[in-house]
Amino acid sequence: MGVMLKVDGIHVYYGSIHAVKGVSFEVGEGEIVTLIGANGAGKSTVLNTVSGLLHPRTGSVCFMDQDLRGVPPHKVVERGLAQVPEGRRIFLQMTVEENLEMGAYTQPKSSVAPGVADVYKRFPRLEERRSQVAGTLSGGEQQMLAMGRALMSQPKLLMLDEPSMGLAPLLVEQIFDIIRELHAAGTTILLVEQNAQAALSVADRAYVLETGRISLSGTGAELMASDQVRRAYLGG
């Protein structure tokens, strides 16, 4: 198994605030890796740095053996890395289908229709609502749409930022079932999640982020069994 993503010693600042302090981790091909941690620990900052929206002051981000520093976000997508942002960020005034087509902007025209058909196969609920304006969808449907839109770029690595945020427990379960299915179909996944229980239950490996540093790492099962993690994140 090759290393798909390697983040090495990144330091990221917002103005004078030192948000991420020397974070290193890797994602192997075919893995689900999760970053868990409290709100404000720096999880989203790490994802936004990988996807090129933020730039590390020092350290490196390598994807498929290529340095991503200085690569603009749309070029990062072209290389096969897609992010489902926190809070979903879909185009609320557009229909479901138009949102999906927007996700294919890096792809040849000929792949758009098969891509949409593929997403509908995975998310039948979206097909039922294909001509509905996205702003009228429920929270769970909007999350499915955001995931479907990211899949339209045919990513090698899918990054999910807090996919369970604001969703009812039953929907959280559904979203995590979809994450398992995507993984089974061969997608490598980097998952940022406050819902530690759900994240660790799907993860091959996990890292705990605390105030901008990685404090713990191991397999999903090891961290699930760790007293430290249980006390801090699993309400145990």
Scan for tokens 């397999």, then name that residue.
219
**Residues 204-228: tens digit of each pLDDT:** 999 999 999 999 999 999 999 999 8
Rounded to an integer, the average pLDDT of 35-45 is 90
Tell me what pLDDT residue 107 has: 84
Q: In the prediction, which pLDDT does 236 show?
A: 59
Whether residues 161 and 71 fall in one domain: yes
Do β-strands 58-63 and 3-14 pair in parallel, antiparallel, or remain unpaired? Answer: antiparallel
Helix (H, G, I), strand (E, B) or coil at 193: strand
Per the prediction, the chain carries an average pLDDT of: 92
Cβ atoms of 203 and 34 within 8 Å: the answer is yes
Angle at 46 between CA 233 and CA 73, to 5 degrees: 145
Mean pLDDT of 115-141: 93
- Do 44 and 139 share a structural domain? no
In terms of domains, do 6 and 96 share one? no
What's the total number of domains in the chain? 2
Same domain membership, residue 121 and residue 53: no
In this structure, what DSSP letter does residue 109 have? G
**Is the same domain home to 165 and 201?**
yes
pLDDT digits (tens, 9 = 90+) for 156-213: 999 999 999 888 888 899 899 989 999 998 999 999 998 999 999 999 999 999 999 9
163 lies in the same domain as 227: yes
Let me know whether 92 and 138 are in one domain: yes
CA distance 209 to 119: 32
DSSP 8-state symbol, 231: H
Radius of gyration of the chain (CA): 17
Full residue range of the structural domain in which residue 39 is found: 1-80+157-236
Q: How much is the average pLDDT of 126-154?
A: 93
The string of pLDDT tens digits covering residues 2-14 is 999 999 999 999 8
Q: Are residues 163 and 213 in the same domain?
A: yes
Query: Residues 126, 163: one domain?
Result: no
Residues 97 and 204 in one domain: no
Sign of CA dihedral 147, 150, 152, 154: negative
The pLDDT value recorded for residue 230 is: 87
- Nearest 5°: the CA angle 127, 160, 112 is 40
Sequential DSSP letters for 2-64: -EEEEEEEEEEEETTEEEEEEEEEEEETT-EEEEE--TTSSHHHHHHHHTTSS--SEEEEEET
